[in-house]
Amino acid sequence: MKTIKMKIHIVLIIIAFSVLSCKNESKSENSEKADIEKYIRHVHDTIGFAKYAWQMDSIYNRLGIADKKNSLKWKAAISPHDDYKYAGRLYYESLKGINANTVILVGVAHRARNFNLQDKIIFGSYTHWESPYGNLKVSDLNKEIMNDLEESAYVIHDSMQNLEHSLEAIVPFLHRKNSDLEIIPILVPYINYDSIDDFSTKLSQSVNEVLRTNNLTYGEDVAVVISNDAVHYGNEEWSADLAPFGVDDKGTEKARQMDIEIINSCLIDDIASEKIKLFTEYTVQQEDYKEYKWVWCGRYSVPFGLDFANKLNILVNEKPLTGTFMHYQSSIDHELIKVEDLGMGTTAIATQKHWVAYASLKYE
């Protein structure tokens, strides 16, 4: 009888140890998952952009896009970042020649004012970004570049990167066609032209050194994508009246022609610092660079990103980039696809009294 009781007692002890062990393993696994989760940047805008692969696949189907592989090696591109319902096709057109496995993303910092961020470019410490096609790795080159930069040129600010939508809009289009994609996300807040010129020089030198050290080719292994929406126009549901030409057909056309003038004067053919400086003169107030003159939300990301990409090409290939204007659309000038049945929608209205334009450019 004692033997039976002893056996039962031993079995109960073994079970108790097993339960405790499982609980400890579960706690350990949960803790590990929580630690990993802290370093993943999750999708912020799930209305205008896709969160799931099936949503992205549906967007492609509805736009009639057959995403075939190509041998293009664009060094840089300018892409929109508005809702997919409005600008979906231009994302694809803007990015189809970006085939590098590592893409330096240069984005807007829409809420920089919330964090008093200015006059420095913004990196993050995330190891991955959430994408409809799985967690996307932030390249190890990110740290190499920062280590080679002067600390006066940048700040690490995850909260700003977490809230910003201008890069997460682009990520799914790049990741869909390249499962091996890695990114280096950089945001550009309020910044004057002198700092744009200075920091773009420093970043180009740092990236050039990283390319050389790692035996990487600009355009083939590493490329640059600049996020931007062109003019924001109208007099309804904006924080100010943004319709200097009026909101009838003539006013809309004048606004469109102003955008085309900026593109032709500043962003195409051989790129030069003079053109980039002229872009800032078109888009920001001379007496206060934090205020719009002509409302492109890429008033800092475009000149900084293009100046950096161009200086990098001069360092690598001893010649400037050549820009080609490919497409221009707005949220009111073409037929829109349906996204509401996909659990998506729009984050703002699109009427002649409230519209946004999009420019698509490539650089080789």
Residue 139: C-alpha distances to residues 3, 128, 324 (Å): 63, 9, 28
Q: Is 250 exposed, middle or buried, given 0-12, 13-18 or 19+ CB atoms closer than 10 A? A: exposed
Which stretches of 38-164 are DSSP H helices?
Answer: 53-63, 84-95, 141-148, 158-163
Contact call for residues 312 and 208 (beta carbons, < 8 A): yes
Main-chain phi, psi angles of 195, to 5 degrees? -70, -35
Boundaries of every domain in the chain: 1-38, 45-363
- CB neighbours of residue 183 within 10 Å: 25
> pTM to 2 decimals?
0.90
Higher-confidence position of 99 and 26: 99
* Mean pLDDT over each residue of the chain, to the nearest integer: 92
pLDDT for the residue 16: 46
* Closest listed residue to residue 109, CA positions, set 120, 101, 100: 120
**pLDDT tens digits along 254-264:** 999 999 999 99
Q: What CATH code would you report for 45-363?
A: 3.40.830.10
Give percent above pLDDT 90 in the chain: 88
pLDDT at site 349: 98
The answer to whether the beta carbons of residues 333 and 213 sit under 8 Å apart is no
211-224 burial code (b ≥16 CB/10 A, e <16): beeeebebbebbbb
Q: pLDDT band at residue 36, thresholds of 50, 70 and 90?
A: low
Q: Would the CA dihedral through 270, 274, 280, 282 be positive or negative?
A: negative
